[in-house]
Structure 1
């Protein structure tokens, strides 16, 4: 694929989507992007977005999707909802599953050459036992799978369905994405906790990757003759304690020094749920995030 190719990206104003746009623009691609509202991320230079053709709408807006893909060579589907709140389960499935089906259908209708699905390692599923996850791992039903994970797995099935109907696809499964961004949104919130000297750490292990690396790999694959495959994008597997300590050290802040056990997390999420019923605020900890905090998963 040449840099003269036209790329349509969903989720262009999201954390990862914004970095992908910056990478595309820097490589000379012609970029059209889907957005909800006109707010531009402050963590990317505004001059980058001035070179983007914007389409207003979302992944549930079929008219906007088809208009956005007119004359497009490649679609990068980056839009997704990330949530671990039980109350947002329906919205999660609507955006991630139904939304992905809409994007795939529009791509088939407009006969685009390439479809890149930004998925997640969560879509590969988790097991109760500590294990190394590779691209060959098959989905397993497990109590450790979150609603978000199930929705991303089902979203991938829509993409594979698109492949069966003639679409050339690539599925990318990044691990937990870290980088400069909005501390009140996405996984970048981990920096806020470290900066505020959150004292607790848990026993969990997970994969982590820099947002710039994910954006770079995404655009790099557009230049390769590779289709109908998946790729895990992971830099390293670290304990949550090590991640918090590293971030705290770089901020010159106090490291977390209290171990939060599984039973403590079990009590904490229940108390948070009870508190939210009275305050109307979202709980700071949920059943799913408490479980993730102690899950040990390695990615290769």
Structure 2
């Protein structure tokens, strides 16, 4: 029996889609029953309704220990995909609760139930900080606690610390650190915001870099690592380092729209995130642009994927054609 958290999200949903091709029973936990429809629709997209029916859906929360204990019964492998993603400083408490405490609960129960392998979905946000600006980031780049990090980065790093604790206590683990993940479905989550911005008309751009990857690649690597004898390792999953301008232009081309034409300078961006902070206070709404988002728009450090290529000999999806083909699907959403 395989247990999956986050099965109503982009990675978890596509992971279920791939795992359902096998013969091992699947169990996925959920908090909101309505969200299961997103994964049902994904299976329907590929005409795999029969495989979807084989999944056992269990109501549970990764911070609800009694419910999790029931979900762990009979489980041999765990894929922990659930996480909270937010760059709004006001979400610090929920980020810590879900990303750190929730992961700690998953690790503790995996140890208690003798789980054979634990695969944790982290993020490139949890990788280290280069000493020299612009230098390549690898799995060995050290985390600098003195450097500026968003609450999301801190909690994803904290989640990894919980996984490493479990490893030290005897749990077999692998960690994947994907970049910005693109894929069909779940348009209201994650990278769907990029498609939404382009569709509405994204006029501004920066020349910062972004590590991106197709969800199918993330899922394939996760399964291969979990099925292998590899233990106590983490892997950067980035198919391509691309400028934000190129990424937006590519998606815009797929939508038959014009790409961004106005370069946003750092001083202007600095003013913009502060102005957004003020508006969020006055209008009592979520932040649309935070200090971290503004800072990330100008980062140029590339991510190195050579470790996973050497270990698995994996060939990643060419992202520009992938994005261009994916873009029209969002316009139909």
Q: Which residue of 2 aligns with 1:36?
A: 31
The answer to whether the 8 A contact 2:212-2:239 is kept is: yes
Size of the alignment, in residue pairs? 295
The answer as to 2:77 corresponding to 1:74 is: yes
Greater helix share, 1 or 2?
A: 2
The answer to whether the 8 A contact 2:7-2:16 is kept is: yes
- Separation in structure 2 between the aligned mates of residue 126 and residue 166 of structure 1, nearest angstrom: 29
Q: Which residue of 2 aligns with 1:235?
A: 239
SS in 2 for 1:33: strand
- Separation in structure 2 between the aligned mates of residue 294 and residue 231 of structure 1, nearest angstrom: 24
Q: Which residue of 2 aligns with 1:106?
A: 109
The answer as to 2:160 corresponding to 1:165 is: no
Determine which of 8, 17, 21 is the counterpart of 1:13.
8
The answer to whether the 8 A contact 1:207-1:297 is kept is: no
SS in 2 for 1:58: coil
SS in 1 for 2:136: strand
The answer as to 2:57 corresponding to 1:50 is: no
Q: Which residue of 2 aligns with 1:3?
A: none
The answer as to 2:150 corresponding to 1:175 is: no
Deviation at 1:184, TM superposition (A): 2.5
Greater strand share, 1 or 2?
A: 1
Deviation at 1:52, TM superposition (A): 0.9
Q: Which residue of 2 aligns with 1:290?
A: 294
The answer as to 2:259 corresponding to 1:255 is: yes
SS in 1 for 2:171: coil
SS in 2 for 1:83: coil
Cα shift readout 1:161-198 (whole Å, capped 9, x = no counterpart): 00111100001111111122333321221111112221
- Separation in structure 2 between the aligned mates of residue 299 and residue 95 of structure 1, nearest angstrom: 26
Q: Which residue of 2 aligns with 1:267?
A: 271
SS in 1 for 2:149: coil
The answer to whether the 8 A contact 1:126-1:145 is kept is: no
The answer to whether the 8 A contact 2:129-2:141 is kept is: no
Q: Which residue of 2 aligns with 1:62?
A: 65
Residue segments in structure 1 that go unaligned for 5+ positions in a row: 1-5
Q: Which residue of 1 aligns with 2:149?
A: 145
Deviation at 1:287, TM superposition (A): 1.2
TM-score (norm 1): 0.94
Deviation at 1:69, TM superposition (A): 1.2
SS in 2 for 1:132: coil
Deviation at 1:285, TM superposition (A): 0.8
Cα shift readout 1:39-92 (whole Å, capped 9, x = no counterpart): 221651252432211111211011122211111110111000011001001110
TM-score (norm 2): 0.85
Q: Which residue of 2 aligns with 1:96?
A: 99
The answer to whether the 8 A contact 1:194-1:247 is kept is: yes
SS in 1 for 2:86: coil
- Separation in structure 1 between the aligned mates of residue 296 and residue 213 of structure 2, nearest angstrom: 17
Superposed, 1:181-260 pairs within 5 Å as 181-260=185-264
Residue segments in structure 2 that go unaligned for 5+ positions in a row: 305-333
Deviation at 1:138, TM superposition (A): 2.0
Deviation at 1:29, TM superposition (A): 2.9
The answer to whether the 8 A contact 2:125-2:153 is kept is: yes
Instruction: State the Cα RMSD in Å.
Output: 1.4
